Amino acid sequence: MRALDELSEIVGAPHLLTSADDRAPYEVDWTGRFRGSAPAVVRPGRAAEVAAVVDVCRAHGLALVPQGGNTGLVGGGVPLEGEVVLSLRRLDAVGPVDAVAHQATAGAGATVGAVQAAAAEHGLRYAVDFAARDTATVGGTVATNAGGVHVLRYGSTREQVLGVEAVLGDGHRIDRLEGLVKDNTGYHLASLLCGSEGTLGVVTAARLRLTARLPHRVVALVAFDGVRGAVEAVAAWRSDLGSLEAAELVLEPGLRLVCEAFGLPRPFDRAWPAYVLVEAAAHHDPTDDLAAAVRAVAPAAVAVAPDRARGAELWRYREDQTLAVATVGTAHKLDVTVPLAALTDFVEEVPRRVAAIHPAARTWIFGHLGDGNLHVNVTGVADGDDTVDELVLTHVAELGGSISAEHGVGTAKRRWLHLTRSAAEIAAMRSIKRALDPDGILNPHALLPGE
Ligand code: 2HG
Ligand code: ZN
């Protein structure tokens, strides 16, 4: 194909992958649920090459799917309709870190873990954090506005992005990496690209906000005799515990599954319906503050980690949920926000409703309690059967929640976008898409429903 020759000229033959074996890892997502096929995977090494790749694809009408670490969970980064994969992983430079401004520049292909490590070298910290930190990339996390376990204190990726360097779908390059905290000169294009899922432009680098490194950190696992108690506790901690860093929900079936799947000891001598993994971090030791805040909510049981190693062990009960569910089967993953007032009933109601239509299915729920963000994973339902997705997402919409809290819409959820976005909003999004990607080559099958 002529276009492939041109792409090869831009990136060099070793970086245009065309054999089935070379392409394979880029054609399927982490869960194995979303699998496609690409004529080629193109791996540019510089932003200028990304721009040249976009130009060639525009000229030939070739659709592109930008891809970072390929840790997405909604089929937004794999070539489901035969698109060319544009892998940004080679753009993995981190730095410079500006220790005065508390900012860093990072290439789209740098992992979140690499940014965290670079920040730590300067006594600072990158606040975005989640289990896939060492694979997920800056470009992917900007494109999806990734959340994670610290959103309740620091906000999601969008709150950390001060500017981006990107190639828009129309071929224009934007370059705003100065990191000005205050700059009210028109549309904030970085915010627009953040969460646009590769449909408007390809992010090649980002200027990221770093936060102070808090040297004292304490972790506890707190058990409750129901979800309601857990929700109320987190509400109290948000008011009273200034050092609150994370408040993550685990339910007994998920905790049992992690213990069985990975041979972990049970944290308490008996089971409780709900657990909250709570972390506090501060300039001074927050242990006493955390202990007082936990006591004040009268929990059923508490395990406080006396040191970092035990803290990491406690985190596994929460962070390993995804890996544990994967040992049961390929899950339908529904990443939703539920208003806190409705969250307790939702957690009880959803497994009942799922069981009513799929008696053999299992529903696993965990998530970021402080944000009202629950991860509903359903195993035992065929990949192509989306009745369970329909059921959960419709219920979420009825409650006034969101069909995607942090993973994005991708290809998996676009047919339900109308549930929580109005016709006017979708029309506005389409207008923006047409303006920035007039040839419709950037991730054309993600996010917006087909017309
Ligand atoms: C998490 O919070 C991730 O662990 C993954 O967002 C959620 O596997 C999932 O559904
Ligand atoms: Zn999550």
Distance from the alpha carbon of residue 384 to the mean position of ligand 1, in angstroms: 21
Q: Which atom of ligand 1 is nearest to the CA of 318?
A: 4
CB of 377 closer than 6 angstroms to any ligand 1 atom: yes
Domains, the chain: 2-87 (3.30.43.10), 103-212 (3.30.465.10), 216-322 (3.30.70.2190), 329-406 (3.30.70.2740)
Q: Is 0.95 surpassed by the pTM of this model?
A: yes
Helix (H, G, I), strand (E, B) or coil at 330: coil
Q: Which two tokens stand for residue 355?
A: 């069981």
Residue 333 Cβ < 6 Å to ligand 1:
yes
* Number of separate helices (H) and strands (E) present in the chain: 17, 18
Cβ–ligand 1 contact at 125 (below 6 Å):
no
Q: Is the C-beta atom of 365 inside 6 A of ligand 1?
A: no
Contacting residues for 143 by C-beta, under 8 A, at least 6 apart: 66, 68, 193, 194, 195, 196, 197, 198, 203
Pocket probe for ligand 1: among 33, 375, 403, the residue whose CB has the most ligand atoms within 8 Å is 375
3-state secondary structure of 386: coil
What SS3 state is found at 208?
Answer: strand
Identity (one letter) of the amino acid at 35?
R
- CA–centroid distance, 259 to ligand 2, in Å, is 20
Whole-number Å distance, alpha carbon 377 to ligand 1 midpoint, is 9
In whole angstroms, give the CA distance from residue 137 to residue 114: 9
Among protein residues, the one with the nearest Cα to ligand 1's atom 9 is 322
Beta strands 161-168; 173-175: pairing state: antiparallel
pLDDT at 67: 98
pLDDT for res 135: 98
Give Cα 194 to chain centroid, integer Å: 12
**Ligand 1 atom 6: residue of nearest CA:** 148
Reading the chain (451 residues) residue by residue, the pLDDT tens digits are 799 999 999 999 999 999 999 999 999 999 999 999 999 999 999 999 999 999 999 999 999 999 999 999 999 999 999 999 999 999 999 998 999 999 999 999 999 999 999 999 999 999 999 999 999 999 999 999 999 999 999 999 999 999 999 999 999 999 999 999 999 999 999 999 999 999 999 999 999 999 999 999 999 999 999 999 999 999 999 999 999 999 999 999 999 999 999 999 999 999 999 999 999 999 999 999 999 999 999 999 999 999 999 999 999 999 999 999 999 999 999 999 999 999 999 999 999 999 999 999 999 999 999 999 999 999 999 999 999 999 999 999 999 999 999 999 999 999 999 999 999 999 999 999 999 999 999 999 999 998 8
CB 133 less than 6 A from any atom of ligand 1: no
- Judge if the beta carbon of residue 332 lies within 6 A of ligand 1: no
Q: What is the 3-state secondary structure (H, E, C) of the chain?
A: CHHHHHHHHHHCHHHEECCHHHHHHHHECCCCCCECCCCCEECCCCHHHHHHHHHHHHHHCCCEEEECCCCCCCCCCCCCCCCEEEECCCCCCEEEEECCCCEEEEECCCEHHHHHHHHHHCCEECCCCCCCCCCCEHHHHHHCCCCCCCHHHHCCHHHHEEEEEEEECCCCEEECCCCCCCCCCCCCHHHHHCCCCCCCEEEEEEEEECEECCCEEEEEEEEECCHHHHHHHHHHHHHHCCCEEEEEEEEHHHHHHHHHHHCCCCCCCCCCCEEEEEEEEECCCCHHHHHHHHHHCCCCEEEECCCHHHHHHHHHHHHCHHHHHHHHCCCEEEEEECCHHHHHHHHHHHHHHHHHHCCCCEEEEEEEHHHCEEEEEEECCCCCCCHHHHHHHHHHHHCCCECCCCCCCCCCCHHHHHHHCCHHHHHHHHHHHHHHCCCCCECCCCCCCCC
Q: Which atom of ligand 1 is found nearest the CA of 147?
A: 6
pLDDT of residue 355: 98
- pLDDT attached to residue 1: 75
The number of the ligand 1 atom at minimal distance from the alpha carbon of 333 is 10
CA of 150 to the centre of ligand 2 (A): 10
Decide whether any atom of ligand 1 lies within 6 Å of the 322 Cβ: yes
- Opening angle at CA 340, ends 322 and 449, nearest 5: 65
DSSP structural state of residue 338: -
- Spacing of C-alpha 160 from chain mean position: 14
